[in-house]
Chains A and B, each alone.
Chain A
């Protein structure tokens, strides 16, 4: 059996109150999201949400930096949703996010217009 103090201590960090201990993201919430990702996910070790808390930081860092580059190119100082969408469209590793951010653009795509494929 796991030691109660260690496990609950790690998982209780975070939430809206902002108390996340040494981690920036709430581990219990991460665990919930992991569980929802697939019916095959049965058990999750204590370290997995921890690895994700760091990985999500790295992910947010990378996507934010790339989005900001788009913002700068547009000579703006406010990062907008469209900048994130552009960063996703131009980065291979973020292909899995394309549908998530581009669900609105299908209305605007006109295959007969001057978009040359």
Chain B
């Protein structure tokens, strides 16, 4: 009788791990924002795990709907930013856009020969070249 219940709980655990972000990571982020003397119950961390997964699903659903309407197969970073703004998380959009732009710049520089790193530093350069010049050079 115990074998079947054990199997069930093992499957449950594996399933859980698949659809939730690790509790250690979630807990760490929570701790970082709270005062040093704050304590967090395990249940609260578990609840936060569930909420984050729901957040991801919620925003992804909206982004994916947009792609479907526009007949695009791939959900990209801009779609995610757009979906968040649409669903009321508009104050997340500016820091996310900055994060995404920085990532794109880094990736662009990595794929080309080490050259024009100062696209963001020097405004004069932006007048002469478009900001996506690294993509152009890539070709």
Residues on A lying within 8 angstroms of B by beta carbon are: 3, 6, 14-16, 18, 20, 24-26, 29-30, 32-34, 36-38, 40-45, 47-48, 50-52, 54-61, 63-65, 67-68, 71, 77-81, 83-85, 88, 92-93, 96-97, 100-101
Contact = CB atoms under 8 A, between A and B. Distances in A.
Nearest to B39: A78
A79 B44 contact: yes
B112 to A, nearest CB: 12
Contact of B99 (A3, A25, A54, A80): A54
B57 A48 contact: no
Contact of A30 (B54, B56, B84, B92): B56
Nearest to B56: A33
Interface of B: 18-22, 24-26, 28-30, 33-34, 37-41, 43-44, 46-48, 50-61, 63-65, 67-68, 73-77, 79-81, 84, 87-89, 92, 95-96, 99-100, 103-104, 107, 110-111
A55 B51 contact: no
A3 B104 contact: no
19 contacts: A14-B22, A18-B22, A25-B21, A32-B19, A37-B56, A41-B60, A42-B74, A43-B74, A43-B75, A45-B76, A50-B103, A51-B77, A54-B96, A55-B59, A56-B56, A60-B33, A64-B33, A67-B44, A97-B55
